[in-house]
A = this chain, B = another copy of it.
């Protein structure tokens, strides 16, 4: 927590939103959950220190959360130091979860996360590139099965978030245009809901790169990192930007559309009709075209990338050269984004995440060559630990997000 009792010149309620009576409680309840989620189980006294609230307030907050069934207190009989041993307040894991589903051109993946960020479920199905209707049938079946499994394990699904590439209308639940899928104006949410039972949890969609960034933030926030840039590499290349822990969507909701910036090799044509696009240079298709002859189909990317990583580790010059090209191209983009956004960390996801230092060396080199505030500015550049599961994980986090904003309302709905 950045806000401790010591440094309170800053107002406790952020300006911009009206502070009402009931809202205070809900916000503070959510903050306790958030602190436990970020920093792990801790005692009431620690919570009070973290949040800058008096112990008395924390005591009532914890007891209310206990009644809601969201936390429980353990008799921490282990006592190291002097004084009464602290009981730890712990998040009740299985009670509530969020379901995230990522949709790509090659597969769909469902991940369920509980309050403790534990993975309750992770399954994926292959998608044969096909018309939206067929794909939606398959995705609906995936969701149906996932919901059944979660219901059986006694976990209440708070919400479902679908991660999809391209430009989306979040309010309408519609994919406006997604080049990797070859779709335009597909009613995703309505299509899925009509295929499922009526009593399906609230469903939303969001951009895959943005949700990938959310997944990374769940880790980064524990390190005190609140400004990060996530770049995903797949058929498309997109960025998810987090500023002070908030997703940057922009006024039109299109922020992070870096796939078609004219920063790639000028001669390379892009399916979008132009040339020089980032996507055409560092997208997975370009990479696979370089390393595999005859050209391989874009299928089972996880297996392919694991194999290529093995080849890279073994010193395969073709793979290493391709990674050099990709790393250099990526470094140019990342360097510019660092100058524009000044993030604390850059995390490379998707297929980039398989290659660690093989790739990072080139990216860092290109960044240091141009960026004003590159490595010197204290910006870490690393690969994601989530490989291709990032967006689905982030989607699951997002589906759970409401709980941290208003636990009371969420649990009211949950019980009914």
Contact = CB atoms under 8 A, between A and B. Distances in A.
A20 B257 CA distance: 39
Interface string A15-29: 111111101101110
A399 to B, nearest CB: 16
B31 A27 contact: no
Nearest to A344: B251
A10 B51 CA distance: 22
A13 interface: yes
Contacts of A14: 13-14, 16-17, 27
11 contacts: A11-B406, A14-B17, A15-B27, A15-B31, A17-B27, A18-B52, A19-B28, A250-B343, A251-B379, A258-B339, A260-B339
Interface residues of A, number: 67
Stoichiometry, as copies per complex, reads: 2
Interface string A243-264: 1111011111111111011110
Contacts of A16: 14, 31, 245
A341 B372 CA distance: 19
Interface of A: 3, 11-21, 23-24, 26-28, 30-31, 34, 51-53, 167, 225-227, 239, 241, 243-246, 248-258, 260-263, 274, 332, 336-337, 339-344, 370, 372-373, 377-379, 404-406
Contact of A341 (B3, B27, B53, B248): B248
